[in-house]
Amino acid sequence: MATPPPDPTPEAVARWFGSRFTRALDLAPLPAPALRFLSGPSLVCRTRLSFAGDSGSQTVDAWRLRFGEVFGPCKGGVRFHPGVDEANLTALAARILLKCAVNGLPHGGAAGGVAVDPRKLGAAGRVALARAYVTAYADLIGGDRDILSPDVGTDAGLMAVMSETLDALRRRFEPAAINGKPPGRGGVPGRHGATARGAFAVLDTLLENGTGPGPAALTGLTIAVQGFGAAGSTFAVEAARRGARIVAAADASACLHAAAGLPVDALVASKAGGRAFSTFDHPGVTVAARETVFTPQADWLVCAALGGAVDAPIAAALRCGLVVEIANGAVDDAGDAVLQTRGVTVVPDVVVNAGGITVSHFEWVVGRTGAPLTAEEVAARLDLRMRETARRLRETATAAGVPLTVAAQLLAIDRLHAALESRT
Ligand code: NAD
């Protein structure tokens, strides 16, 4: 008789879920069958895709994978990026599972992508690739199976193309299968800006900002923002609108500094015109290396660029009291340890950046029910959910005496435990 495989260790699970998860597992252990379930993806489908690019036919590696089909149909992005591979997609899908667990969303984790530089394809090439991706994975995709959404290198326009392709293949409408579509094509209003809106709902609740029902004033607060794309720029605009001073903001090219506060609207206009921060010219604004975003004295640092931005040396040098992890995994494990020793609060990614996935979930509900939502309804529902999760996060952190980063994982483990209890 074959020997059964050894039970997976918490360390094996940490490969995909990270050290915050294993720290939480020490406090709230999961039984062996649950750990086994979490030790790797349930489905990995790798395909060689051929499509017609602008410069002729091209063949690329593509993936779709699922991790944790437990709360409901899996959900995950489609990434077009040269760095896409199976390991990083697996970690991405595991993070989506955690995010769904923490935020009470009825989905498992999924991720997919193509190892390609979309900027080199041209618009027609990107559309052809989006069609080829959906055609290849049509049997896996569906509102009750695996729901696609935009990620790095894909956008609302490509989601519309994917949705049309799937409908044509199925010979029926399947709006719940593809999220992140433009509002005129089955998407919900308010997806743009949902991540920043959700982040403010979380921050207001955690910090008990303000006393009334309206947005809390941030007068006098100073903020540095790393990454000025879709999420970072909308966060900065809202913060400035509430009276905060954005004293530093970085994109991939440079960091802009102004102790009196950057002209945020001018930055947004400059980015919309396709100009990098390194070329920004404005009275009172100085241009420096992008890493200098970590140096100013500021109340908050908002990380909205890439994962791993705050490592141990940067964590030791930061002069802020609170780090907002808009980028997934913005603070690495070593950075986490240093910030905890220094008493710097980290507001964890799986809660603070969940506004996007939450609104994406609303779109799935609209696709299934056919009952549309107004922008006001989307905003109100998002606010309610994010505030509720933030309240539970704060209570868990206080009760367990752990940082918010570990408390978030405790919330996820609690929900996973309940869902996986019956497994043997
Ligand atoms: P984006 O591509 O629109 O913007 C990324 C920004 O980061 C750009 O301004 C880029 O120039 C900048 N950047 C890249 N490398 C940098 C560096 N080393 N230093 C400083 N700036 C750098 O991406 P986005 O949609 O705004 O997402 C930002 C991050 O937030 C990503 O990690 C993403 O996974 C995460 N996130 C985004 C959303 C969302 O709704 N957009 C939701 C959840 C999580």
| pLDDT tens digits, one per residue of 273-294 | 999 999 999 999 999 999 999 9
CA 10–ligand 1 middle distance (angstroms): 30
Q: Are residues 241 and 137 in the same domain?
A: no
Count Cβ atoms below 10 Å from residue 249 Cβ, excluding itself.
28
The residue nearest atom 23 of ligand 1, judged by CA position, is 229
* Cβ contacts of 208 within 8 Å, gap of 6 or more: none
Q: Are residues 225 and 165 in the same domain?
A: no
Assigned token pair, 148: 């696609």
The residue nearest atom 18 of ligand 1, judged by CA position, is 252
Q: Are residues 114 and 161 in the same domain?
A: yes
Please report the pLDDT score of residue 56 as a whole number. Answer: 85
Please report the pLDDT score of residue 26 as a whole number. Answer: 93
- pLDDT tens, position by position, 310-342: 999 999 999 999 999 999 999 999 999 999 999
Please report the pLDDT score of residue 216 as a whole number. Answer: 75
Please report the pLDDT score of residue 9 as a whole number. Answer: 72
In a domain, 357, yes or no: no
C-alpha span between 251 and 293 (Å, rounded):
9
Please report the pLDDT score of residue 350 as a whole number. Answer: 97
CA 226–ligand 1 middle distance (angstroms): 8
| For the CA of 255, the nearest atom of ligand 1 | 20
Query: 229: Cβ below 6 Å to ligand 1?
Result: yes
Are the C-beta atoms of 330 and 311 separated by less than 8 Å?
A: no
Please report the pLDDT score of residue 163 as a whole number. Answer: 98
Q: Are residues 181 and 49 in the same domain?
A: yes
Closest CA to 301 of 243, 365, 253, 235: 235
Q: Are residues 208 and 164 in the same domain?
A: no
Q: Are residues 79 and 160 in the same domain?
A: yes
Please report the pLDDT score of residue 422 as a whole number. Answer: 74
In a domain, 369, yes or no: no
In a domain, 207, yes or no: yes
Q: What are the DSSP calls for 43-65, one per residue?
A: EEEEEEEEEEETTEEEEEEEEEE
Identity at 278, one-letter amino acid code: S
Residue at which a domain ends, from 165, 185, 205: 185
Query: 351: Cβ below 6 Å to ligand 1?
Result: no
Query: 227: Cβ below 6 Å to ligand 1?
Result: yes
- Residue burial 66-84, b: 16+ Cβ < 10 Å; e: rest: bbbbbbbbbbbbbbbbeeb
Sign of CA dihedral 178, 184, 189, 191: positive
Tell me the best of 88, 228, 351 to mutate to test the pocket of ligand 1, counting ligand atoms within 8 Å of each CB and taking the most.
228
Q: Are residues 151 and 210 in the same domain?
A: no
| Domain coverage including residue 264 | 194-352
- pLDDT tens, position by position, 338-372: 999 999 999 999 999 999 999 999 999 999 999 99
Q: Are residues 181 and 90 in the same domain?
A: yes
In a domain, 18, yes or no: no
* Cβ contacts of 205 within 8 Å, gap of 6 or more: 386, 387, 390, 391, 394
Query: 231: Cβ below 6 Å to ligand 1?
Result: yes
Structurally, the chain folds into a number of domains equal to 2
Q: Are residues 346 and 216 in the same domain?
A: yes
Assigned token pair, 219: 């007068």
Q: What is the CATH number of the domain that holds 119?
A: 3.40.50.10860
In a domain, 70, yes or no: yes
Q: Are residues 178 and 262 in the same domain?
A: no
In a domain, 377, yes or no: no
In a domain, 16, yes or no: no
Query: 250: Cβ below 6 Å to ligand 1?
Result: yes
Query: 251: Cβ below 6 Å to ligand 1?
Result: yes
Residue at which a domain ends, from 185, 211, 231: 185
Spans of the chain, pLDDT less than 50: 210-211
CA 401–ligand 1 middle distance (angstroms): 32
Q: Are residues 235 and 181 in the same domain?
A: no
Q: What is the CATH number of the domain that holds 345?
A: 3.40.50.720
Q: Are residues 119 and 219 in the same domain?
A: no
In a domain, 151, yes or no: yes
Residue at which a domain ends, from 352, 384, 407: 352
Please report the pLDDT score of residue 211 as a whole number. Answer: 47
